[in-house]
A and B are shown apart, each in its own frame.
Chain A
């Protein structure tokens, strides 16, 4: 693999990881809001059990992605940084309100409802806006007005592609998080919470597939180069759709599975992650060689000396942190005692 290919693969990996971690985080926050005042079910508590130890790390993943973009593709940083002034600042405002209010809600129990509402709603807007960056990289939005890069927002928010992506982000966020919580509920043997989240997943799931097709249609009209490339990855798209059905089928089966600790949600969760993997692989591959159309990754890559230093620091850093990640995982995610 060349330096450029490796860098873009790493960046892709970070987007993929963050899209999952972020969806789980924001979606869980949303479900926590929905069920925070319900006395008849523990669905809200289960959401908070996931949220408390996870949000900080999820946030680091976001910063990690921003830093990787700056480090590996400094020229693209210039273009995106200039063009995204307005949307990026909006996202920042929403993100900070979301995070702060969520943390406040843990400490000010009496005002929990209102704090939870604010953080739940702003939280679901964050992925919806974050994802808008993707269609912007397809080209056609950023304009060069007398040497100044501009992003006409009226153009962005009248584009069908943008809305297809926004819809996808919201439904994926809710779908993934509902599945995670169904799985969490099944670990604790809480059948009622499991059923709640299973039902939500079954409603939302089909939208992810539908919106996937809408995205492809919209791309065909608005960024034909990407559509042409995508056709080379038809196999991956088919695999993605198949994984969706595996997951959905497993959810369906859970309905009649009277076993308290059902394996269904786990299989469904993994299948959706696989579904997302295939789809983003196809999308990412088809996106090449452009980072922000029509600028190619070769034009944006940093110098070799920097590249080598970065890769070394990634390897050393990940190696050193691995035990910590594993310990954290064992204490919170895969720990019956904690989840209960």
Chain B
């Protein structure tokens, strides 16, 4: 049992680390592209400097994003061999196509970085666009496998055998498009809000001069716009995801909302702790009928409760906290973006107040928390299944030992890589301060 827990921790850890670099790998190229296009349109050199500095950041992050992704893909086979055997038989297509997305991203990234001075402007934009598309495609394709785990389709499962496999039916599984769009827009949120964080932090610094303040404010405003719009999109397709849960994984939704009895007019429990003994959500704010409305579109809609399902197939009840925190993060970030634009509208020339800037500083880490919470909710909420109602996690895990030791080794590795990444970023930007870049264009 301990062995299984270690394997879950180890894989969860790898993914939790990879996802940070991966979403930045999706979001930052998008921001680079937007800044590069803005530059070519407005001829304002500040945007060229932004692109340049974000590109540098991105290439440093790639140094960890790529190896952690490689770890993820190999660890899937060594930690969950039965799962990967099933993947090989039914859903290897997205993995396979993803290779080409990786090629797309890495080839054009290399061209964009190392051949920048040898290619024309339109070709630079083209390269950057292809980098962004490649990154988005990798996110979509890997999410495809995840979506299939939640709503497995495209095969008949008979006596432990996968028969009548239809790879494209597996690929276009019921929640694929919903999930993929949610993952992509949330990745955009992370890329842009991290830029908001850095810009706001720089604007708060004591010695910042007017010229630099203006520069950071430009970065802040475009990032806030992208972040806010992606936030709204994320909330909308997140709502779609929840409706899909209602149809395809009702016990996951029930656990997320702490609903025990199947009922119409189901209330939405906001916050609180789910108590399985009293079958209630302690300390929660109950909004009458809202869950029914959200899940089915009408107050009289019936939402199924946990008691309809065998106890040993209940997802862990902490998912309620994870789900509510994710939604909370989303709501907060949208509010922040709205606040920022509202303030700019009524006070055109005034600087942002300190408290708002501190709010902006928090937005990037919050968005990363949102991603981690969302994934934890989705993965933990699928338990006890690795492939929903087909393969249990306890059957998927490797039988080989030493898991605890490797968990410790990888914790050490990720801490090392994380710390050095931060040090290298700091070191590099200390050596190449913004003031120097600005001087060059004057």
Contacts and interface: CB of A to CB of B under 8 A. Distances in A.
A74 interface: yes
A59 B70 contact: yes
Interface in B66-123: 66-71, 73-75, 77-79, 81-82, 84-90, 92-93, 95-100, 102-104, 106-111, 114-115, 118
B63 A70 contact: no
B402 interface: yes
A306 B167 contact: yes
B60 A93 contact: no
Nearest to A324: B107
A82 B399 CA distance: 7
Interface string A36-62: 000000000000000011001101101
Nearest to B166: A305
A331 B115 contact: yes
B307 interface: no
Contacts of A6: none
Nearest to A85: B400
B89 to A, nearest CB: 5
Interface stretch (B45-53, B226-234, B339-347, B409-417): B409-417
Contact of B102 (A52, A60, A83): A60
Contact of B109 (A56, A67, A68, A74): A56
Contacts of B71: 92, 96
Given A96-B68, A328-B107, A81 B84 contact: yes
A303 interface: yes
A89 interface: yes
Contacts of A70: 77, 84, 87-88, 92, 95
A309 B168 contact: yes
Contact of A324 (B99, B104, B400): B104
Interface in A69-119: 70-75, 77-78, 80-86, 88-89, 91-93, 95-97, 99-104, 106-111
A77 B111 contact: no
Contacts of A306: 88-90, 92-93, 165, 167
Contact of A321 (B59, B70, B74, B100): B100
B400 A100 contact: no
B173 to A, nearest CB: 15
B420 interface: yes
Given A71-B88, A85-B398, A57 B111 contact: no
B96 A310 contact: yes
Contacts of B67: 59, 92, 95-96, 99-100
Contacts of A310: 92-93, 96, 167
Contacts of B90: 306
B130 to A, nearest CB: 8
Question: How many of chain A's residues touch chain B, expressed as a range?
Answer: 35 or more
Nearest to A97: B413
Contacts of A101: 420
A67 B99 contact: yes
B110 A53 contact: yes
Contacts of A66: 73-74, 77
B24 to A, nearest CB: 14
A81 B84 CA distance: 9
A310 B62 CA distance: 28
A313 interface: yes
B100 to A, nearest CB: 4
A78 B77 CA distance: 7
Interface in A253-279: none
Contacts of B9: none
Interface in A109-166: 109-111, 147-151
A249 interface: no
A213 interface: no
B74 A92 contact: yes
B115 A108 contact: no
Contacts of A96: 64, 67-68, 70-71, 413, 417
A158 B156 CA distance: 45
A63 B118 contact: no
23 contacts: A57-B107, A60-B103, A62-B70, A63-B99, A66-B73, A70-B95, A82-B400, A84-B78, A96-B67, A97-B413, A100-B417, A107-B56, A107-B427, A108-B424, A148-B399, A302-B88, A305-B167, A306-B93, A306-B165, A321-B104, A328-B110, A331-B114, A337-B118
Ranked nearest first, the 10 interchain pairs of A and B with the lowest CB-CB distance are A74-B88, A103-B63, A96-B67, A71-B92, A81-B81, A56-B106, A85-B400, A81-B77, A309-B167, A317-B100
Given A99-B67, A321-B103, 16 more contacts: A56-B110, A60-B102, A63-B69, A70-B84, A84-B78, A89-B406, A89-B410, A95-B70, A96-B71, A106-B59, A107-B424, A151-B400, A306-B93, A310-B92, A310-B93, A337-B118
